[in-house]
Structure 1
Amino acid sequence: MPRLSFTFALTLLSIAACPVQASNPKPEKPVTLTLYTAEGISQAARKAAIEYEKAAGVKLNVTDVPPFNRIPQAAGSNPSRSEPVDIVLTNRNTMDRWVAQGNVDKASRVEVGKSFIAMAVREGAATPDISDMENFRSTLLNALSVAYSDTASGMYLTHWVFPNMKLSKPLKARLVSDQAVGEAVANGDAEVGLQQMSELTHVPGIKVIGLIPDQVQQMTLYSAAAVKGSSHPQETRGFLQYLVSPAARTVIKDGGLIPVH
């Protein structure tokens, strides 16, 4: 009898263990989205990714992509990279091209933030007056060196602003474009730097003194969209919706942009 009781007890234990195993499946690995971002909205994108991961449990790998003229190579299934791309954030003109090329889902596109061109000087340096066109022109003429970027805003300066202000010749020998604008100013390689506010705000060792005058200002609108063929369409939609929600306004502002929504 004791032997039968022992066998019966083992049977009961084995039956009881089955539901426990079934009710405790191995936790699923969190979804990871790959996001490509232009440098002008990179800081905002990274801050948004951190906050969204806390709220939704979806991890985002954020990668800065090259300047605008080479960004389209990154969209879609890129054979030169090991991971597919789920979301892209870039300026309006580039996004328009991606939509036309069929790389992104047009219906998913959202406008995220506006960025404007600002001037920066080295931390501790005197603050020049750029409050109007006359003072802005004088500041540029008196600067020993002027850094600008090789992106769209830099081309706008060299191809439109400087020529229209009759500064192309006076500044020609003083322009610095072989390194990042903020870095050039911080290192003392350029006395002043001109670039989008969103790209200067977080650079150590410099002081952003303000936006250039409205008469020569250029607004850059940044958009986000889902790449066609994403393996995580639901999670991708969720992040895009977050970018245009009130919850994202603070991180977009902290990134040096003006939220659209």
Structure 2
Amino acid sequence: MLQQTLVRRSAPLLAGFMLLAAGAAHAADIRVVSSGGFAQAYKNLAPAYERASGDHLVSEWGPSMGTTKNAIPARLARGEPIDVVIMVGDALDKLMQEGRLVPGSKVVLANSPIACAVRRGAAKPDISTTEGLRSAFLKADKVAYSDSASGVYIETQLMNKLQISEQMQGKAAKIPATPVGEIIAHGQADFGCQQRSELLPVEGIDIVGLLPPEVQKMTQFSAALAPGGKQPEAGRALLRFLASPDNAGVIEATGLEPAAAAAPAPTPAMH
């Protein structure tokens, strides 16, 4: 049912794309690396783009920050052949300032709130207030959070705001690379928080709710071209497609808040 809904929402955009794609002389392999927060939205949109443009998306995944091998900054530093990156906006801006992304190519895609989850079937704490959230952290035997944007915020700011930094030492763990939801589902933590869009696709967990508004941290997800990319024009076409208002419904269905405003539908590059 969800797949049918997503296809219907993309139909107006695809109608125009198909006419242009029919005349494309050469299909491009577009190499994309996306961080987890936008990954599900990207996965849902990718088949429609490939059908419409005739291009092939070669997709890989990695965090927006951190020191793991798959982290986007590490990939760029190694000179991997990447056409498009999709990642946390602040981290993207930093890379662009350092000259590691194509200047002026940034497009804002969505904003993402942080949510918390427990193992499926476990009691759900009430985290609708800061006191309830504080209690949920303190009562948990082990808490998990990511090594990317949401985890950095939880570790460096949220714990202080809730005045629990000392109490959480030894039972709150930063999880590199692996989605927090999977850690919870496997019983390695009984409570954890990450971008809602990263928790939603994980089986075996129940999402408790969003962080209370007064301590919520919205994370922007953006995309840009990598300077070493071999398909810059095809990459730009993909950026326009991802940022199109016609795809806002697909993005919203994954737990994100689309950034797209009303604008004409984009058209893919001719090859």
Q: Same fold (TM over 0.5)?
A: yes
2:9 corresponds to: none
1:112 corresponds to: 109
Structure 2 counterparts to residues 206-221 of structure 1, below 5 A: 206-221=205-220
2:199 corresponds to: 200
2:162 corresponds to: 165
Shift of 1:177: 3.1
Structure 2 counterparts to residues 225-244 of structure 1, below 5 A: 225-244=224-243
1:152 corresponds to: 149
Q: 1:175 to 1:69 in 2, by over 3 A?
A: closer
Shift of 1:207: 1.0
2:89 corresponds to which of 92, 110, 124: 92
Q: Does the CA contact (< 8 Å) of 1:75 and 1:88 recur in 2?
A: no
Aligned-partner Cα distance in 2 for 1:151–1:127: 25
In the alignment, structure 1 segments of 5+ residues that lack a partner are 1-26
The residue type equivalent to 2:153 in the other structure is Y
Aligned-partner Cα distance in 2 for 1:109–1:166: 37
SS in 1 for 2:60: strand
Structure 2 counterparts to residues 66-145 of structure 1, below 5 A: 66-70=63-67, 71-75=72-76, 78-79=78-79, 81=80, 84-145=81-142
Q: 1:231 to 1:158 in 2, by over 3 A?
A: closer
In the alignment, structure 2 segments of 5+ residues that lack a partner are 1-23, 261-271
The residue type equivalent to 1:239 in the other structure is L
Shift of 1:234: 2.2
Q: 1:137 to 1:232 in 2, by over 3 A?
A: same
SS in 2 for 1:104: coil
Q: Deviations over 1:18-54 (max 9, x none)?
A: xxxxxxxxx9662110011112222222222222112
SS in 2 for 1:208: strand
SS in 2 for 1:34: strand
Q: 1:204 to 1:174 in 2, by over 3 A?
A: same
Q: Does the CA contact (< 8 Å) of 2:181 and 2:199 recur in 1?
A: yes
Q: Does the CA contact (< 8 Å) of 2:197 and 2:255 recur in 1?
A: yes
Aligned-partner Cα distance in 2 for 1:36–1:243: 14
Aligned length: 231
The residue type equivalent to 2:244 in the other structure is S
TM-score by length of 1: 0.81
Greater CA drift, 46-55 or 219-228: 46-55
Aligned-partner Cα distance in 2 for 1:195–1:124: 19
Aligned-partner Cα distance in 2 for 1:206–1:110: 32
Shift of 1:252: 1.6
Name the structure where helix makes up a greater proportion of residues.
1
TM-score by length of 2: 0.78
Q: Does the CA contact (< 8 Å) of 2:144 and 2:183 recur in 1?
A: yes
Shift of 1:55: 1.8
Shift of 1:176: 3.1
Shift of 1:171: 1.8
1:51 corresponds to: 48
